[in-house]
Structures are given as C-alpha cells and as structure tokens.
Amino acid sequence: MISRPTLRDFSIIGFSTGKILTGVSLLYVVPLAIAAAFGEWSAFVDFAIGLNATLAAGAVLILLGDGTREPTRWIQSMVIAAFSWFAAMLLCAIPHFLSGNFLSYLDCIFDVMSGFTTTGLTLIQDLDHASHSLNMWRHLLTYVGGQGMIVMVLVFLLRGTAGAYMMYVGEGKDERLLPNIVHTSRAIWLISIVYLIIGTAVLSLLLAREGIGFPRCLLHGLWLFQSAWSTGGFAPQSQNVLYYHSYAVELGTLFFFVIGSFNFILHYAVWSGNVREMWKNIEIRSFTVTAALTTALLVFALAQLSIYGDAFILFRRAVYNLLSAHTTTGFATAYVQQFKADWGDLALLAMITAMAFGGSACSTAGGIKGLRVGIIAKSIYHEIKRIVLSEDAVFVTKFHHIRDIILGDQQVKMAGLIALCYVVLYFTGGILGVVCGYPFTDALFESTSAGSNSGLSCGITAAGMPLILKLYYLLAMWAGRLEFISLFGLIAFGVSVFRGK
C-alpha cells in the first residue's frame, strides 16, 4: 500500500528546501560585487531583485516548515534534493530575464539549469556583449553546480540537519571521502578552491600572454577555469574556446577539465599521499581505455575525410573536442556547423559514444560514468571466465576503487540499471528530435549532449527550437545530473499524493 504524504512531510521538505535556497541566495553577493566594481548599475538592480526573491522564498519555506532534529526519510531527502534544484533554477533565472539577453523566461530557466547541471548548452542572445556580472553569475552557477548545491549548503548551513547524507546522495554523489558527511563536503570544497586559485592564475597568465589586457584576462581566466573544472562548457564568448585561437589556452583548459572530471575520492586519496591510486583506480583505467578507443575512432573518421592537413592539427582539433565530450565539458574548438557539415556521421558517433560514457562518479562530470562502465566491463569478463572455466570452479572478480572490492551482483545490477536509464534518456531525445524533423545523428548528438551534461551542440539548441525539445532537454539535463534516483523519488512522492491512502 502506498502511504499518502502528511502535512508534516511537506513541512520537513519545505524547511530543508528553504535552507538550501537561503544558501543559494548568498551567491548573489559575487555578481553584485562585480556589477558594483564595473559600474553596471542596471545589472546591479537585477541581481538585487533576484537576491531578494530567492531570500524571501527561502525564508517563507523555513518559517512554514518543520525544522525537526529527526533524520529525514529517504523519500523526503530525494524530494528535497530534486525540488531544491528545481526551485533554485526558477529563482536564479530572475537576473537572466531582467538582463534582456534572453527571449523568454523559459530560455532563462534553460540557461540556469544548463549552468547548475554543468551542461553548457545555452540560449543566450548576444553573449559577446553580455555584462561582466551576468557572465560571473552564469559561471558561478556552473562552478557551484559542479561541486553540488547541497554540498555547498551542507558546508555552510545544514550542519546539524539529520539525514544530510541522503540529500547528498540525492544530488548524484553517492560516495563519502570521510566518515562525516559535512567533513566530506568541506573536503570537496577545499579541493575545488585550491584548484580555483591555481587554475585562475594559470589561465589568466596564459590569456595575458595572448595579449588580453587586465582585468579582462583575470575575469576570462576565472570564468574559463570555473567552466573547465566543473566540466561546464560555458565561455564568455559565443565562439567558445575557439575565440582565443591559442594552443596554450586550449592545453590549459584541457588539463583542468580532465582533472575536474576525476572522482573527488580519487583527488582526496592522491592528495593524501596515495599516488598509486592514480594508476590502479578502475575509473582512471576505464576512462583511459574508452578515451583511447573513441579517439582512435574519431581520428580514423577525420583522417579518412582528409579535413585536417597534418597530424598535429588533427590532434589539436580531434583530441581537444573528444576529451571535452568524454569529460562532459562541452568546450569546443570547432564551429557548430563544422560538426555537422565537415565531420561526418562516423565522427559524430565517436563523439556521441564519448559523451555517453562521461567522466567519473562523485565528480563534476555527467554521463554513465567510468565506475559503472568499469563495473559492467568487469562483469562481462566475469561471465566469460565462468563459461570458460569448469562448472565446479569457484572464483571472484575484483576491482580497485580506493581499495580492492569483490564484484557483487548488487553492484552490477545498479550499474546496469543506471546505465540503461541513461541510454533510454539519450535515445528518447534522439527519437523526439527525429519527430521534430532533425536528422537522427544530429538529434542523438544533441540529446546525448543534454542527458550526459556535455553541452556540445551541432546546431539544434537555439532559441527558436521546438518547445517540446526545449522542455525535453531541460528534463534530460536535470535527470542526468541527479542520476535519476532523486527524480524517481520526486515522481514517487507525486504519485503518493494522489494514489496514497
């Protein structure tokens, strides 16, 4: 029997959502400061309105909610995680809408969801002339979304809340770095902030070397780092990374987005002196193998067509875009039309495969994830071994992820189930794209890009795209980022409201 949620369930969900929104409202301080520093007073007012609306919504939910000390139940935590993302998306879109850079509020919501989920697909108009504060806001949302909105609030606001771990899981991060969840969240932020300082300094210097003056080089360095580290894909110029025409900037961003796609547990282990983990970890091995195979396929496709004159240019174009796709970043050094017109179907399929695999679990990246790909590959190896060996043979298959783990049925089942959900998400979008009149390869490319939170586009994502496709990509970004579980929780909660007894 499905039990109907009580008023108390709603008030517990409302209270935690209110706290998360209050935490999110603190982020407005950054674009407000940038707007004041650069004299963008119109934008300053937009952000002040956004801050007040978000803070007011958070305060109302806290006042109406129930701040119980009892642990929240799984279903409540899942609903809090999914609903917080949805509410934050609606409220953080206010400055976007007031900026005049978007054609509708839905386009603003799309851009915010794309930022929070570290996707990078955008519907902004005239990006090249957008204000510094709006660019700061878009990249800040990407940076926070990469680490996790709930992770951020856990560090600053939800310390004493029982059931915090379940909300953390609901946000698509299901592994702990440390036994305590608040310490885990703090470690995630420490790693990200150390890299933020290093990355901004390195990229700013590289941009200054290319002739970009101060403070533009510092702002672009910060924004490119935030996007790279969070595997986001937003850039302050409409031509993305191609705008800089710099091999050094491409190499710099490549380093940061590949490192940004690593599991935070791996960062923590390597930073704690366990450097061997870098070579032994199943996710790194899985990523290395799939990156090599998809690169070979992409290079084969491009070399066959003789698009690029020599091996060096081929490497620069193919490997950068492929690793950007595989880590689900979305930085591009090829024009949107080039993907479609010049690269051909085989090259697009290599990119789609790379995007579908994605980065690491418990990281800023999206997609099926290296851990699941590794577990599925190990289980196939286990089954082949079982067929080859005699029926009486007893054996176990292990994989290494911080420690040696014996492959169990439950792990294989969960990995297979989530992978299947991603494949269904990608193909449903592909079919929907064909229904809307796009070629299947293009539609599958765009759908996989949205579902895996990659952000590369072959031209379908635009302000004038069909409404149904815009809504589907919005849902795909949300579902892909939260790894389905909390979204299923939200659906189950909605069903129990109407069908429960």
Partner 1 sequence: MTVMARSRSTGRTHIQSAAWGIVVECLYVAVLCAALFLITAAIWFYFSRCRV
Cα 42 to Cα 321: distance, rounded to the nearest angstrom: 37
| # binding residues, partner 1 (CB under 8 A) | 33
Q: Is 179 in the site for partner 1 (CB under 8 A)?
A: no
Q: Is 492 in the site for partner 1 (CB under 8 A)?
A: no
Cα 160 to Cα 388: distance, rounded to the nearest angstrom: 53
Burial of 374 (0-12, 13-18, 19+ CB in 10 A): buried
Least distance (Å) between residue 388 CB and partner 1: 30
Least distance (Å) between residue 327 CB and partner 1: 11
Q: Is 495 in the site for partner 1 (CB under 8 A)?
A: no
- Determine contact, residues 323/254, Cβ cutoff 8 Å: yes
- For partner 1, the closer of residues 293 and 475 by Cβ is 293
Least distance (Å) between residue 26 CB and partner 1: 25
As given in the structure block, the two tokens for residue 133 are 């504060």
Stretch that binds partner 1, among 191-199, 206-214, 238-246, 331-339 (CB under 8 A): 191-199
Q: Is 193 in the site for partner 1 (CB under 8 A)?
A: no
Site for partner 1 in 21-60 (CB under 8 A): none
Least distance (Å) between residue 149 CB and partner 1: 25
Q: What angle do CA 240, 300, 243 make, to 5 degrees?
A: 15
Distances (CA, A) of 450 to 237, 268, 445, 447, 460: 20, 29, 9, 5, 11
Residue in 81, 167, 291, 361 binding partner 1, rule: CB under 8 A: 291
Residue in 48, 49, 248, 270 binding partner 1, rule: CB under 8 A: 270
Q: What angle do CA 41, 94, 446 make, to 5 degrees?
A: 120
DSSP letter, residue 281: -
Stretch that binds partner 1, among 36-44, 237-245, 266-274, 491-499 (CB under 8 A): 266-274
- For partner 1, the closer of residues 146 and 489 by Cβ is 146
Cis preceding-peptide flag for 215 (omega within 30 of 0): yes
Residue in 1, 7, 129, 306 binding partner 1, rule: CB under 8 A: 306
- Determine contact, residues 154/164, Cβ cutoff 8 Å: yes
Q: Where are the beta strands (DSSP E) in 386-449?
A: 398-401, 403-406
Closest alpha carbon to 144 in 152, 154, 136: 152
Stretch that binds partner 1, among 86-94, 285-293, 356-364, 460-468 (CB under 8 A): 285-293
Stretch that binds partner 1, among 125-133, 206-214, 273-281, 342-350 (CB under 8 A): 273-281
Least distance (Å) between residue 391 CB and partner 1: 40
DSSP letter, residue 398: E
Dmax of the chain from CA atoms? 77
Which residue type sits at 21? Answer: L
Residue in 59, 106, 259, 346 binding partner 1, rule: CB under 8 A: 259
- For partner 1, the closer of residues 314 and 436 by Cβ is 314
- For partner 1, the closer of residues 25 and 294 by Cβ is 294
Q: Is 206 in the site for partner 1 (CB under 8 A)?
A: no
Residue in 197, 303, 341, 467 binding partner 1, rule: CB under 8 A: 303
Strands 398-401 and 403-406, how do they pair? antiparallel
Q: Is 311 in the site for partner 1 (CB under 8 A)?
A: yes
Q: Is 255 in the site for partner 1 (CB under 8 A)?
A: yes
Residue in 15, 262, 331, 357 binding partner 1, rule: CB under 8 A: 262
Helix (H) or strand (E) segment spanning residue 352: helix 344-357
- For partner 1, the closer of residues 16 and 324 by Cβ is 324
β-pair partners for 404: 400
Q: Is 155 in the site for partner 1 (CB under 8 A)?
A: no
Q: How many beta carbons lie within 10 A of that of residue 99, not counting itself? A: 21
- Determine contact, residues 399/381, Cβ cutoff 8 Å: no
Q: Is 197 in the site for partner 1 (CB under 8 A)?
A: no
Least distance (Å) between residue 300 CB and partner 1: 6
Least distance (Å) between residue 231 CB and partner 1: 14
Would you call 120 helix, strand, or coil by DSSP? coil
| 182: CB partners within 8 A, 6+ apart | 154, 155, 159, 164
Q: Is 247 in the site for partner 1 (CB under 8 A)?
A: no
Cα 441 to Cα 464: distance, rounded to the nearest angstrom: 20
For residue 402, is it left (φ>0), alpha (ψ between -120 and 50) or beta?
left
Residue in 56, 162, 198, 467 binding partner 1, rule: CB under 8 A: 198
Contact residues for partner 1, defined by CB under 8 A: 194-195, 198, 254-255, 258-259, 262, 267, 270-273, 275, 278, 284, 288, 291-292, 295-296, 299-300, 303-304, 306, 310-311, 314-315, 318-319, 323
